[in-house]
Structure 1
Amino acid sequence: MNKCYKQANDAFFEDDYDEALKLYNEAIELDATNAEYFLKRSATYQKLKKNKESLDDAEKAFNLVEGKDEEKSVKAKALLRKGIALFELKNYQGAKDSFESSKELNPNEKLLATWLRKVETELKKSIGTQPAQTAPSGAANFLSQSRKETVDVYMADRSVSVTVKLPTGSDYSLELDPLAHEINPKESKYEVLSTKIEVKLKKASIGVKWGVLEGEETLVGSISGGDGKLTYPSSAKHAKNWDALEKEISKEQDKPEGEAALNALFQQLYKDADDDTRRAMLKSYTESSGTCLSTNWNEVSKGTVETKPPEGMVAKKKMFNT
């Protein structure tokens, strides 16, 4: 294997995309006939948000194997990569065509289901069939019902996709592909909590220790470092700082929940809002005794906002802290 290519893969799996790009460039300079090199560089360009370059490399990879029946799997990957680049460039119809062509060559590619679902959603939006997004009208709806409806999690054997519809109307997307090892999608689950989305993955092979979450990991045991701390073997150049990860998880667990988290969220929304939105939030929340939160000043300014506590509960006066 081209040494630069192997080092580039290590850098990619360590999320060092600038280094990976440099090394993939060197690998291609040594051998510009290998379609896999262009596919990997295409993926790297996507991570760096250079979608035009990602598309160019996907097309180069496809052209290198065009007419070679034995390279059907590479063609399928090139078409998948091309579709992803077109999707990021907002050419949704072109992306759909590319995904479908990839599926014809490799119908078992599980990642295609995620991308086809995404592109269908965008195409529906473009013809006005998607329901309009409305501003949150109450604290309970904002943090429970609305959030649950706008969180989409898809799990396959070696991938996880999380999409969240933000209050601004834009999407937040997290793609983990490929995972270091296989999971059991049917027994994996997720839960939308007040301050986070918790995803629990069920290992397909019980007892296998994951040194990394993403990428190709060939070693699965655990060893102890010279300092007595637990470390995990990996083919990557840079070791993961598990102590730092543990601290980060502890910080997440220390975040406020319940009413404290709700008040913190209100303060953040208020801080980032314009003057009319702030007036609407203050007036609606105060006059309704905390049972309604509106960002629509044109509506709120027309009169007093009524108190509407959830069924079975009694409203109490409370102030909105800014």
Structure 2
Amino acid sequence: MAADLFGQANAEFVAENYQRALELYTLAINGDSTKDEYYVNRSHANIKLEKYKDAVVDADQAIKLNPKNAKAYLRKGTALFAQKNFKSAKEEFVKGAEIDESDTSLKTLIRKCEAEMELQSKDDLPSQKGPSVGGGDMKEQTSSNSVMDAKQETTKVVPPAEESVPKIRHDWYQTQSQVIVAVMQKNVKKEDLSVNIEPTSLCITIKLSSGRDYQLNLDLAHEVVPDQSQIKLLTTKIEVKLKKVEGIQWSSLESKGEPSNIKQIGVSGASGADAKPKYPTSSHHTTDWDKLAQNIAKEEKDEKLEGDAALNQLFQQIYADGSDEVKKAMMKSFYESGGTVLSTNWNEIGSQKVEVKPPDGMEFKKWES
């Protein structure tokens, strides 16, 4: 029963129904409180709902149950980072990275914490001015210092990007099924490029000829499917095609609560998410990205697939075009049947559990750990 509730909670989370997912995760935990992944996923739901303290509590419980769960440290660090506790967040990310060295997103988050801590330390530097030795009006000096501190507070200067890091332009656009992020850097070698795609984040790192690294870190507005995303290394740019979990129109590239423009540390030239992307004004040629997106969408629609690929494309299209009830029916039937049944009729399966129906000649067995 707890496993079924956990599967339903995952389906609601994928559908971005985070409050419902939280409720189902709680029911699953009430049924079985020994599963560390239940707490990890509930922590993630709490983060999405901005309940960061609850997210930390869940992550701590997951760590208590399984100290080797790298995702638990990731969730705890993310919640602490959101609370601007960058030092503690870094400590958690470091612990996670030591367990799972292959997760490059943790290394990226560690660098983010270090950058935030450096800015924080500069902002928190106390005034070095104090009362003069040998007398004077202490009250007057204190007042003078307060004025000086206020003046410094209003004239803080953000450290400029290092001059040796070039300005690299990037844009994004979307089709019904994909979000495409393009970094306008020419002649990048395969060995100098690192792209890490997670369900809710994208990190692109390019080793430049100067020896420095260009890095673009994005917290995505909606979830994507890393395994079905593509990377194209062209002579004029790098193109990352992110497969959408749902065929919805993204209003912005980055997650809610963040500025709509694309952010990056130490590199300028970002474009707003709502602005229509174009080539630099020095170019005599401009690209109609809307028309390009339509052409790509048409190519994807007309592409002739065979076998399992064609079947998967059909299911994806039914889900993307379906009503909320159709989507709920597909999710419920898939998870409850262990992937053996896919129904679009909510009236038929909404009030009852979907039974496992293995293909002819095969037998369903539960895995016992």
TM-score in terms of structure 1 length: 0.49
TM-score in terms of structure 2 length: 0.44
